[in-house]
Amino acid sequence: MKKKTAVILFVVVIILLIDSSFRVSNLQTQLDEANRLLSENERLSEQLGSESERITLVDEVDKENMSLYWQYIYYPGPEPENAWKYSIYTSAGKIDNGEFGYDDGQEWMMVVETPSGYYPLVPRKYIQLGGISCTIFFDNNQKGVLNVLVTEQWGASHELSVFSLSDTEKAFMVEPIRYFGNICVLANSKGIMEP
């Protein structure tokens, strides 16, 4: 009887050890996956920049050898001299028919010009096989805060960011939304070379 009890006790201990080993292995797998996701999140955050980034007013921006690609003029009040100009510039020159002559890469930038100076939302930078586009909108859920959704596309990557004008900060606050890397774009409604 003692021998039978000892064997049963031994089997129970072995089963508990096997179960514990399986649970530890499963926990290690979950921990490895959590660490992988944390590393990926940190990598993406570094690529997108700090969520508290502020774009403050500067006196001037370098537009030398840049052409106005697109512009929207916003009048915050009745005085036309107080207009804000939301502009995208490119280093691509215009050809004889008035269209832009694109190379496989050119410099792009997006600035907001105010009577007091400039907000360089996207500083001048070289973009290979791509460009910049934007959507300007008021968010009624934020009590009419003016926002600019900017899409930067280059090669096999896209980055989306929202720039929100903060009255209290006197700056545009940058909120990175998403970075897509190593993608294969099948179609783009804005055309092949146009941003």
Are residues 131 and 65 both part of a single domain?
A: yes
The string over 5-18, giving b where at least 16 C-beta atoms fall within 10 Å of a residue's C-beta and e elsewhere, is eeeeeeeeeeeeee
Are residues 72 and 14 both part of a single domain?
A: no
| pLDDT (tens digit per residue) in 2-48 | 777 877 777 777 887 787 777 777 767 766 765 665 565 555 555 54
Are residues 24 and 92 both part of a single domain?
A: no
* pLDDT above 80: residue 112: yes
Are residues 60 and 146 both part of a single domain?
A: yes
Question: What is the rounded (10 degree) CA torsion for 113, 114, 116, 120?
Answer: -40
pLDDT at 39: 63
pLDDT cut 70: percent of the chain above it: 81
pLDDT at 192: 43
Domain hosting residue 28, numbered range: 1-48
Are residues 136 and 117 both part of a single domain?
A: yes
Q: Within 10 Å of residue 51's Cβ, how many Cβ atoms?
A: 10
Q: Is pTM, for the whole model, over 0.85?
A: no
Are residues 20 and 75 both part of a single domain?
A: no
